[in-house]
Amino acid sequence: MTRFLARRLAYSVVVLFGVLIASFALVHLVPGDPVRIALGTRYTPEAYQALRSASGLDRPIVGQFFGYVASAVRGDLGVSFRNGDPVTEVLLDRLPATVSLAAAGIVIALVIALPAGIWSALREGRVSDALVRVGSQFGVSIPDFWMGILLIALFASTLHWLPTSGYRPLFGDPGGWLRHLVLPALTVGLVAGAIMTRYVRSAVLEVAAMGYVRTARSKGLAPRVVTLRHTVRNALIPILTITGIQLATIMSGVIVVEVVFAWPGLGRLVFNAVAARDYPVIQGAILLIAALFLLINLLVDVLYAVVDPRIRLS
């Protein structure tokens, strides 16, 4: 296990360095002068030159890159062109909103996908199976922003049960945090749940056709025991895989959903940073998102060994 973790950490460092190179190159290829955009109506030649010098954009591109790498290793990702705040603080300020939305969304998705996918697989070819497949296809096909608008129209505009948008900190206002979280989490969870339902159904159907499952049935074991101990348990590996992918996707920022609900997460931060050509924030957000993907993939790999003792991490 220790050797596996050390190798994966070394691999993660290499991947992050590659992401850093790619993000640095891409954001500098985007047309537009970020310093001029950042100054806006406050532009003066003196302020322009001062901000270019402070941000290091007056240096050669190679010098900018190595300077950024050296600062990033120390945890300094620069300052935002828009407001002058340290990028690290900006990202850490947005991270709780993203984590809370991702956690709530993936819980909702699992609550939907696990029972629906298992139920559909165990009743293959029946009417209930067809209804689950049609419902999951509907959830996969509908755009997430349209799902959000429908939920706002129903629960906020018509029933007046929940707020239309905004965010409250968990520890400052738990009740307000929960009320503002419900609609965006439902939007994310319904879409992710529809995707995951199809994977759960396929995984359970594949395992149910295995010889050891037929043997368990022929031995007279109760259907519930066969389903839980032999079928679902052995289908957990692909289910864990799709769960990790969906969680990483949500953690990286569901941009459209966050914009619709004015949710201050990483997705909305990246959206605003791209519009403002805020290079340091874009690069910092890309690095953080890549790190989150790598961390979630590592956790999924470790869970493989926990779920299936035959898998050994070496």
Of residues 313, 296, 293, 301, the one with CA closest to residue 237: 301
Residue with tokens 């629906």: 116
Q: What is the pLDDT of residue 32?
A: 67
Residue 200 — pLDDT band, cuts 50, 70, 90?
A: very high
16 C-beta neighbours (distance < 10 Å), count: 16
Mean local confidence (pLDDT), 127-136? 90
Please tell me whether the overall predicted TM-score, pTM, comes out greater than 0.75 for this model: yes
Q: Average the pLDDT over each of 160-164, 175-179, 210-214, 265-269 and give the range with the smallest value.
A: 210-214
The model's pLDDT over 212-251, given as tens digits with 9 standing for 90+, comes to 778 877 877 777 788 877 788 888 888 888 898 888 888 8
Q: What is the pLDDT of residue 1?
A: 65
The domains located in the chain, with CATH, are: 95-265 (1.10.3720.10)
The model's pLDDT over 85-106, given as tens digits with 9 standing for 90+, comes to 888 999 999 888 888 999 999 9
Q: What is the pLDDT of residue 253?
A: 65
The model's pLDDT over 29-71, given as tens digits with 9 standing for 90+, comes to 766 677 777 776 777 787 778 777 776 777 787 887 888 888 8
Q: Determine the angle formed by the axes of helices 87-122 and 266-275, rounding to 10 degrees.
A: 130
Buried b vs exposed e over 243-258: b needs ≥16 C-beta within 10 Å? bbbbbbbbbbbbbbbb
Mean pLDDT of the chain: 84
